[in-house]
Structure formats: C-alpha cells, structure tokens
Amino acid sequence: TIEALKGKTGDVAVREYIVNNLLSSQAPYATIGMVNGAYVGSEPVAPGYYLIRDKAGTLTGKDDSYTFYIVKITGFVTITPKADTPSLVKKIKDKNDTTGETTNWQDSADYDIGDEVPYLLTATVANNFASYKGAYKLVFHDTMEAGLTFNETSVKVIVNNTEVKDTFYTVTKTDNQNFTVTIADLKALTYGENGTKVAVGDKIHVEFTATLNENAVIGAKGNLNTAYLEFANNPNSEQPEMGR
C-alpha cells in the first residue's frame, strides 16, 4: 500500500486513491446518518484512521453539493456537514413613462415595445467555496420569452459595487433569448484597484438589458425572463463538477 502511494502527490490524490482502490465491500465501515443537523455514526468505532466520505454514487438533488473527505484519528465522532451552495435572486427595474425615472430593483415592471428593460441576477457566494481543491466555477443561465431580445453588449459583472474586468468572465449567447455568463474560477476573481478577492457572503451581480420587441405579449401575462445558477459542487475534485 505504501509503495502504491509513492507516486501520489497532494492531499486530494492520496484520498482519491484510497477511495477508488483500497476501499471495498469487505472493508470495515460504519453508516453515518443525520441527527439534529449533524452527521452521527451508527455505532462507536475503535480508535484509528478513518476516511469519511459521501455515499458512493451521484447526487440526486439539484441543489446538492458533496462534502469534503475527512481523514481523522478517532473513536466515536459527530461531524457537522460542510456542504453549502450559492443562492440566486433575479430582479428588474421599472420606468416612469412621464418622468423617465427608474425605480430600485423589484420583482416586476411595465414597459413599452422598443424599451430596454434592465435586469439583475445576484448570486451569494457559498461559505466553503475557497476550500475547493480545483476551480470554483459559477455559471449564470438566463432564458427569455420571444417578446424579449437579449442585448449582448449590456452585460456587467459587479462585486460590492465595483465592476469586474471582463477577463474574469465569458458571455455566451445561444440565441436572442438564451445566454450564459461563466466565471471560470470564482477563487481567482479580483476586483478594484487593489485586486480584492471575493469572500464568503459576497454578492456577485450580473446586470444586463433586454429589448421589448414586436413579439411582446400585451397584458397581465407579461413576458417572462427566468434564470438559474450552475456551480461547482465537489470540493474534493481537481476538475469542476457542476450542480444546480
């Protein structure tokens, strides 16, 4: 076993090797369940080295993310889950037809055909993003109905009221109604003159506009714009594995 591990460098490589090659159905193990918000072992185990990991297989919930592998010398142990996922909120501004003034960000608005409609997508940074072994990839997805035309050059990414350089993200337009904004690695993103790094709890804003076109639906039904967030969800992997 020691000989096999000689070529493995780095914490992740060693743990991955143990999981994929040394663990088997015959290996001693204990089941861990959730009790009052913490993971608790099904039975006390003798002191020794244990590798604690998520159950093998793929995640079933769209908002799930894996926890870190833990290697610990322990007997009976209680583990607080470390997994966290970012959240997403979408807002829109309204405009007064008489004065031309716009409101603060809100949930709905009333515009005329030909108007440019401002939108805001906001993601809150997860509390464990900086501990990921690989890149922490973040992708904003937006889909509009036929009555709205996406304005590709209008996209801005903003952190703490400071616009981020476009070298940190990519805008991909599928068609006039669908696009993505991809941040390849949130851990590498900086903003401001001093190169401030993103921190836990920061708000990542994506601002853009869409033009209300001739296909717009008039009346209460409106013209919907929906969005969702895709994010790295396996902190143990060197390559981003994505969830939503």
- Ordered mean pLDDT values, 10 residues apiece, the chain (244 residues): 54 59 52 52 54 55 53 46 72 81 86 93 89 90 95 96 96 94 96 94 95 90 90 78 72
Q: What is the pLDDT of residue 133?
A: 85
Q: What is the pLDDT of residue 91?
A: 93
Calculate Rg over the CA atoms of the chain: 23
Q: What is the pLDDT of residue 29?
A: 52
Q: What is the pLDDT of residue 21?
A: 61
Q: What is the pLDDT of residue 71?
A: 46
Q: What is the pLDDT of residue 197?
A: 96
Q: What is the pLDDT of residue 82?
A: 47
Q: What is the pLDDT of residue 238?
A: 76
Q: What is the pLDDT of residue 87?
A: 85
Edge-to-edge strands, sheet with 78-79: 32-35, 38-41, 78-79
C-alpha closest to that of 225 among 90, 112, 123: 90
| First-to-final CA distance of the chain | 38
Q: What is the pLDDT of residue 5?
A: 52
Q: Looking at the whole model, is its pTM more than 0.75?
A: no
